[in-house]
């Protein structure tokens, strides 16, 4: 990203997002949707956003855009992780990117009044970023406006976390935590035991809860995460299959090809041909 902060709207949103295939966003972002509808997969989770919704976009996760309505009105505030690390923020004594990434739920529907506050703040930030004003304090104004956006999202997350703890069942909490843990570690850890121990429960109990709540086994969910990453790298990078197999921690390209075909019904070369002119 040329600038540490960039703001996109409905006119240029496709400069940030990609369509027709899974991909990794180049930078994390705050998505502020005032009007319209956006549906996407974030790793294995399907997320539907409509008017007065906000969401956190994590560049470590795999996204696939499924639907975008024609009547969009949105602001997307993309930022570099390095920029947030330099901000004097007081969110959980961590930089903003790490704080948001560690949360279980990262998309929210808001009431009109709090939504308008965050919209106006981001819109003002966009105006300052796009202005040619050579103000002595321009950088400080940008930093404070962006910090204000971070704090607004932080407040929403804190409120949602309290609501979530009060409203979801223990089984749902186990599933949410499992999905978060797999999203963080699936490239290095694919054993169910590892994820069970993270929650201080047995593998048998974890598997039973996952099957009851999601209809899928732990192994199926972990494989789905790996497949999302595989599809993203095959469709949106020029890496060789050998490089992708190594990235995904397969012993060789043959075992990767077997895994990919088992879970998709076609080989990785066949899948890649769809995205090559």
Q: What is the pLDDT of residues 158-188, one digit of tens each?
A: 776 665 556 678 888 898 889 889 988 999 9
pLDDT in tens, 185-235: 999 999 999 999 999 999 999 999 999 988 999 999 999 999 999 999 999
Residues found in the chain: 277
Nearby residues of 240 by Cβ (< 8 Å), 6 or more positions away: none
Helix residue spans in the chain (DSSP H)? 81-85, 96-101, 112-130, 138-167, 170-185, 192-198, 203-214, 218-236, 241-247, 253-264, 268-273
The CA distance from 235 to 276, in Å, is: 8
64/72 Cα distance (integer angstroms): 18
5-167 CATH choice from 2.60.120, 1.10.3470, 3.60.21, 2.40.350:
2.60.120
Instruction: Identify the pLDDT of residue 10.
Output: 96
CA distance 143 to 125: 9
Report the first-to-last Cα separation within the chain, whole angstroms.
Answer: 27
Backbone φ and ψ of 64, nearest 5°: -140, 115
Residue 34 DSSP code: E
* More confident of the two residues 98 and 180: 180
User: At 79, phi and psi to the nearest 5?
Assistant: -145, 160
Contact 241, 35 (CB under 8 A): no
Domain 170-273: assigned CATH number: 1.10.10.60
Per-residue model confidence (pLDDT) at position 103: 55
User: Residues 6 or more apart from 60 whose CB is under 8 A from it?
Assistant: 24, 101, 183
The rounded mean pLDDT for the chain is 88
pLDDT, one tens digit per residue, over 114-140 is 999 999 999 999 999 998 777 778 889
- Rounded to 5 degrees, what are φ and ψ at 58? -110, 120
pLDDT at 3 over 90: no
- Domain segments of the chain: what residues? 5-167, 170-273
Sheet with 73-79: strands ordered across? 5-9, 73-79, 29-35, 53-57, 107-109
Phi, psi of 159 (to 5 degrees): -65, -40
């Amino acid at each position: 990203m040329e600038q540490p902060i960039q703001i996109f709207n409905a006119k240029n949103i496709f400069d940030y997002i990609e369509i027709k295939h899974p991909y990794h966003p180049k930078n994390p972002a705050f998505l502020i949707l005032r009007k319209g509808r956006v549906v996407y997969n974030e790793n294995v989770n399907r997320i539907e956003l409509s008017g007065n919704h906000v969401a956190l976009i994590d560049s470590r996760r795999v996204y696939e855009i499924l639907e975008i309505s024609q009547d969009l009105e949105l602001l997307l505030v993309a930022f570099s992780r390095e920029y947030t690390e330099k901000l004097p923020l007081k969110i959980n004594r961590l930089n903003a990117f790490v704080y948001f990434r560690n949360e279980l739920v990262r998309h929210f529907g808001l009431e009109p009044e709090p939504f308008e506050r965050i919209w106006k703040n981001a819109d003002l930030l966009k105006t300052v970023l796009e202005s040619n004003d050579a103000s002595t304090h321009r950088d400080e104004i940008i930093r404070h406006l962006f910090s204000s956006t971070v704090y607004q999202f932080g407040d929403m997350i804190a409120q949602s976390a309290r609501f979530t703890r009060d409203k979801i069942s223990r089984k749902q909490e186990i599933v949410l935590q499992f999905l978060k843990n797999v999203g963080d570690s699936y490239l290095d850890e694919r054993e169910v035991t590892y994820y069970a121990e993270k929650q201080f429960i047995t593998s048998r109990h974890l598997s039973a809860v996952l099957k009851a709540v999601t209809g899928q086994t732990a192994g199926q969910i972990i494989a789905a995460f790996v497949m999302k990453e595989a599809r993203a790298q095959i469709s949106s990078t020029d890496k060789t299959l050998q490089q992708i197999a190594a990235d995904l921690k397969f012993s060789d390209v043959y075992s990767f090809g077997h895994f990919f075909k088992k879970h998709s019904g076609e080989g990785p070369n066949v899948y890649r041909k769809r995205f090559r002119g």
